[in-house]
Structure 1
């Protein structure tokens, strides 16, 4: 996957209700180890794991693929699935802006700075973090 997978307006909830919905939905589908907060402004990537972000407050412009890469505007209610090795960074955001992040199996993602790199084939998730088994990211 050389581009992120964006699910727009997955939930009409906002704030803490949306945060809890993302945590629960991701966990039911095997994406756990949830953390919350903003997104690093420096381009970075993870080689050992995919990552999902559920936006529960505000909006932001996220860049994928390193400097000069694709920019997506994400808003509260959106979900972004990022494949291992795909660089990502927050280049602008509202105040406040917060997201819930998780990984398949709750794996602690390693951290590398730069424009991204081909990842060794990480363990294939058993389910898409939003749609569940056999659909979306894992289909």
Structure 2
């Protein structure tokens, strides 16, 4: 699926077809109350010491006019989250210690566990957006065949992938240093994210 989706994305970006553009993508959001969940360090996955996972249910209207993945890409880019990709979510526990991540569900449904082995399982479906602070464990447990996720990252930070106990000591030092993003990837500068992720005093 990633190869086909990469070809589609390339063609859409080259032609503009089935892409809403940044302005219209922002107009396809629906105000949603954030569902914020904090996870404790489980010994393998540190999670974030201060900031919660933020989940918006049905935050983006995905109609037949635009490619749903393109809607999410344009929305995230409009709010300063880039380096997007189209794929599923890995079926093993992993986290990022040097960068935050947003996951937007473009198609299908999936059961995803956040927070590591002692975390919580969420059923995610098209239109949902999850924002993971650095350190948040995530793993896909099961999904529809057409399950498609668009991921993206804020400009500050460096992508890494942590999966082992050996990653942990370094991760504990880097996770708290990843700065607060300038904008909420779904709702922009006025979105709830910056209130939920406050800078340490």
How many angstroms does 1:22 deviate by? Answer: 0.6
- Say if 1:32 and 1:106, in contact at 8 Å, map to a contact too: no
Residue 5 of structure 1 is matched in structure 2 by: 54
* Structure (1/2) with the larger strand percentage: 1
User: Deviations 1:91-132 (Å, cap 9, x if unpaired)?
Assistant: 111111110000001755200015986523202100000111
The TM-score normalised by the length of structure 1 is: 0.90
1:51 matched to 2:128:
no
Structure showing greater relative contact order (alpha-carbon pairs closer than 8 Å, 6 or more residues apart):
1
- Say if 2:79 and 2:184, in contact at 8 Å, map to a contact too: yes
Residue 199 of structure 2 is matched in structure 1 by: none
How many angstroms does 1:136 deviate by? Answer: 1.7
The TM-score normalised by the length of structure 2 is: 0.63
Structure 1 111/25 Cα, relative in aligned 2: closer, same or farther at 3 Å?
same
5 Å-filtered alignment, 1:95-134, equals 95-105=145-155, 107-114=157-164, 118=172, 119-134=175-190
Structure 1 32/106 Cα, relative in aligned 2: closer, same or farther at 3 Å?
farther
Which protein has the larger Cα radius of gyration, Structure 1 or Structure 2? 2
Cα distance in 1 for partners of 2:118, 2:180 equals 28
Aligned-pair Cα RMSD in Å:
2.1
Cα distance in 2 for partners of 1:107, 1:34 equals 14
Flag structure 2 segments of 5+ consecutive residues without an equivalent. Answer: 1-37, 40-51, 196-201
Cα distance in 2 for partners of 1:137, 1:124 equals 9
User: Deviations 1:46-84 (Å, cap 9, x if unpaired)?
Assistant: 011110011001110110111131111100111110110
Flag structure 1 segments of 5+ consecutive residues without an equivalent. Answer: none
